[in-house]
Structure 1
Amino acid sequence: MRDVARVAGVSQAAVSYAYNQPHKLSAARRAHIFQVAASLGYAGPNPAGRNLRTGQVGALGLMITDSLRYAFDDPATSQLLKGISEIGELAEVTLSLLPCPLESSRVTEGSGVLVRGAVDGFLAYAMPEGHPGMRTVLSRNLPLVVIDGPNPGDLPRVGIHDREAAQQATEYLLALDHRRIGFLVDRLVPDGTGGLVDAARFEMTRDHVMRERLTGYRSACQKFDVPWSTTVVVEAGGFDDELSRTAAETLLDTAPVTAIVAASDLLALAALDVAHERGLRVPEDLSVVGFDDIPSAKAAGLTTIRQPLVDKGREAAQLLLDIIGGATGRDVTLPTELVVRSTTGPAPKAVIAEQFSQATLNSPPPLERPRPSCLPPEHEE
């Protein structure tokens, strides 16, 4: 920069302004400086030199449990990335995607991308409980914001009330007289296992969001006196279309349900596809509710829980940048909304009648009521 300033006949500060604060110079002065710099083979300030001076690298790291492909293929994660990138662009920082799958020996050993990654802070997205990557990141003593995950050490966090939203979705169906309800969840434990979920599998759950949503489903059933033992829960074991379809098929093969509550829109859309292939009418024969309200949910007419995924990314990125800048961390809880569309309706009348008849058969005989002694005979019932 000194060489460029000497040849151009300007101050070294003017050269710095040309690259870092161009609004402080006229267009002609900037063009002159860039022309001289090009003739001398100077391409601009060295990022490494700037990093040494400021102590920052100008990058945020987003931790994900799955592959890089998942970050772009999963619709909900893509919406989150959109929000993060918007804030990153405004702040002129880059985003590093840091895949840290559990099967990676480097993650387990505390090495690899989480150690080598040159970032100023981390966003931990939906990390399973006990993930070794969290220990590695915490040991680096860099700012860390949790998104939709367990929160070790009372860290700053951005999320929603998953339990309450899931309960709302289930109560909506129960209020429509659905009692044969099946539940689809993405992944309780990142071990590649899918299928019917029993009590033991539920206790093994390491995904914070799925545990909260299942607890919400269960609370709604208890509120409406529906035994949890009569419901069916199926785990997809992952997040792709094929696993989602398999989970929906397993659920419909296992029990004659009149409604499905899915922990994601991806699962709900798969359930709709399978239902249509089997000739089930939606919502006359089967009602379906999703979660997220991704763009394709509206096109399918899917009733779902809307969460502000893009806003969640924005809030998390801005919170992390604020902390890097010296602000105090905080928790951000965003609102959700039940969006009712065309995939839900009342339970089939024949099923309601059958359930009523069965309840009558199983109910004990009515007790003979004693006559109230305070009323004269002509007023007795």
Structure 2
Amino acid sequence: MRLTLKDLARELGVSTATVSNAFSRPDQLSAELRERILAEAQRLGYQGPNATARSLRRGRTGIIGLILADRLQYNFEDPVATRFLHGVSEVFDQQNVNMLLLPSRSEFYLGQSFDSLADGYIIYGPPRDGRILDKVTARRKPSVTVDFNLEGVRSLNIDNFAGAHLAAAHGIRHASGQIAVLGLRLISDATQISRVGDQPLTTAEESVSRRRLDGYQAALLEAGRELNPDWIWNAPESRYELGYQAAREALLCTPRPELLLCMSDRLALGAVAAAQDMGLVIPDDLKVIGFDDIPTAAYQRPALTTIHQPQHEKGRQAARMVLGLNNRSRDIVLDARLIVRDSC
């Protein structure tokens, strides 16, 4: 049987408060008494007061939950997500705060109570099941949404519209022909590559990709160009192989696109590979612009023109927001900037 604090106090002939103080408030005891209690605890195999019970009494766990919109595996293989997590963990380490990664699976939230798991939450991307947001916000704990907006909750975003506008404006200065977009999660619940066409799209409030699409379209309209929905492809995830597949489909169309605007660098890198496998020369035959500025973008040959977003800083800012280390009432929007390299 597991030895309890009461058992140890009874064995030593002291109060439970005295035993508790030996572990958590040593200044309340003489050095001799504390050493005797700790020595007896070690002999009997007592590990100390229950940490979970203590945190519940105090109302704090020292843990912040990071709710992921994607599979756990995806967040460890996607360079954008890993840089964000690195920024979050840097601040948490400095503040002696622990991080609990919470999955995107609805049954985890809907099938159990998780009130006591964390002191607050960073919600990284909109969960596919909106009921998860209802469960989290009902707890009224400090929360921050990242890459989407939720009424009554502080948000942290990149200026996706402005970044996409920069990308498109730069691209159309160098490409007079057909333009195609390789989009990302523009269609809810999509599981494979498809053209957008007349399918309903996500809103700008719930999707950074929609903000990017709006930025592309605004730049095209300003230049007197139009983007037909039939020239927009949707990928369900930011993956190299999906960019490859979508680019092949686009480049087999007539007229063949002269510019590909890609909503992530991983999609763009897949598109570059597809074009090269089809015998096209970049940027002579095709120009490609990505979004994110992941490390590989600079080392790719040709190096990828893209939009830089400070993912590491975004993680740091999200951590500071949820811990109340900066302005509590203000949403934050970080700048995005164009990085011109060889692909356009």
Q: With the length of structure 2 as denominator, give the TM-score of the two structures.
A: 0.83
Paired position in structure 1 for 2:342: 342
Unaligned runs of 5+ in 2: 28-33
Cα pair distance change 1:114/1:222, threshold 3 Å: farther
Measured after TM superposition, the shift of residue 85 of structure 1 is: 1.3
Paired position in structure 1 for 2:30: none
Contact between 2:179 and 2:260, CA under 8 Å: does it hold in 1?
Answer: yes
Measured after TM superposition, the shift of residue 65 of structure 1 is: 2.4
Query: Does residue 229 of the first structure (1) align with residue 228 of the second (2)?
Result: yes
CA offsets 1:183-216 (integer angstroms, 9 cap, x no match): 1112111332431112433367885101100000
Of 16, 31, 38, the residue aligned with 2:24 is 16
AA aligned opposite 1:239: S
Paired position in structure 1 for 2:196: 197
Of 67, 70, 73, the residue aligned with 2:71 is 67
> Which has the larger share of helix?
1
AA aligned opposite 1:150: N
Cα pair distance change 1:242/1:206, threshold 3 Å: farther
Q: Distance in 1 between matches of 2:93 and 2:110?
A: 29
Paired position in structure 2 for 1:314: 316
Larger Rg: 1
SS in 2 for 1:95: strand
Q: Distance in 2 between matches of 1:16 and 1:168?
A: 56
Cα pair distance change 1:192/1:113, threshold 3 Å: farther
Cα pair distance change 1:17/1:202, threshold 3 Å: same
Paired position in structure 1 for 2:332: 332
Measured after TM superposition, the shift of residue 38 of structure 1 is: 3.4
Paired position in structure 2 for 1:77: 81
Paired position in structure 2 for 1:180: 178
Unaligned runs of 5+ in 1: 22-29, 345-381
Contact between 1:181 and 1:231, CA under 8 Å: does it hold in 2?
Answer: no
Q: Distance in 1 between matches of 2:141 and 2:211?
A: 28
Worse overlay, 171-180 or 213-222: 171-180
Cα pair distance change 1:249/1:48, threshold 3 Å: same
Paired position in structure 1 for 2:31: none
Q: Distance in 2 between matches of 1:31 and 1:91?
A: 30
SS in 1 for 2:199: helix
Query: Does residue 48 of the first structure (1) align with residue 52 of the second (2)?
Result: yes
Q: Distance in 1 between matches of 2:68 and 2:264?
A: 18
Worse overlay, 38-47 or 291-300: 38-47
Paired position in structure 2 for 1:245: 244
AA aligned opposite 1:221: L
Number of residues of Structure 1 aligned to a counterpart in Structure 2:
325
Q: How many percent of aligned residue pairs carry the same amino acid?
A: 32
RMSD: 3.3
Query: Does residue 87 of the first structure (1) align with residue 99 of the second (2)?
Result: no
Of 139, 162, 167, the residue aligned with 1:164 is 162
Q: Distance in 2 between matches of 1:225 and 1:96?
A: 49
Worse overlay, 235-244 or 287-296: 235-244
Cα pair distance change 1:231/1:281, threshold 3 Å: farther
